[in-house]
Amino acid sequence: MSEILFWIYLVNSVLLINHEIDSAYWKEWELFKLPGGITGFIIIHIPLIFFVLYGLILVFQQSFTGLLFSLVLSLGGIFAFTAHMYFIRKGRDEFKIPISLFILVATLILSLIQAVLTINLLINW
C-alpha cells in the first residue's frame, strides 16, 4: 500500500503544482486577498513546493513523517477544490475553464483516495 501511496502522492503533487500555475494566471492572490501581488505569490510558493517535493521523498522512504506530509497534501487538495467551488458558486469566473475544472476535480478525487490510504497506514503504523 505504501508504493501505491507514493504514486498517488506524485500524481496529486503534479496536479496541485499545475493548479498553482493556473492560479498565477487567474491572479489567485486577488481572489484570496493576499498581499504582495505576483511577487508575494511566488515567494509563498517556493517553500510550499519544496515541502510538497520533500514530502514525496519521505513517502518514498515510508517514514511516519512522510505519512503526515501525505495527509497535509491530501487535505490541501480537498481545500483547493472546496475553496474554488465556493468562489465559483458565488459567481466568480476564475477556474471555470475545462482544464482548470478538470485539475480541481481530479485533485479532489486523488486527495480523497490519498487521505484514506494515508489514514489507513497511520492507523496500522
Cell numbers linked to 21: 500555475
Which spans in the chain are helix H? 2-25, 28-31, 37-60, 64-89, 98-123
What is the value of pTM for the model shown? 0.94
Cell numbers that stand for 20 in this block:
498553482
- pLDDT, one tens digit per residue, over 24-48 is 999 999 999 999 999 999 999 999 9
pLDDT in tens, the chain (125 residues): 899 999 999 999 999 999 999 999 999 999 999 999 999 999 999 999 999 999 999 999 999 999 999 999 999 999 999 999 999 999 999 999 999 999 999 999 999 999 999 999 999 99
Residue 55 C-alpha from the chain's centroid: 12
Task: Report domain extents, the chain.
Answer: 2-123
What DSSP state is assigned to residue 92?
Answer: -
Phi, psi of 19 (to 5 degrees): -60, -40
97 secondary structure, DSSP code: S
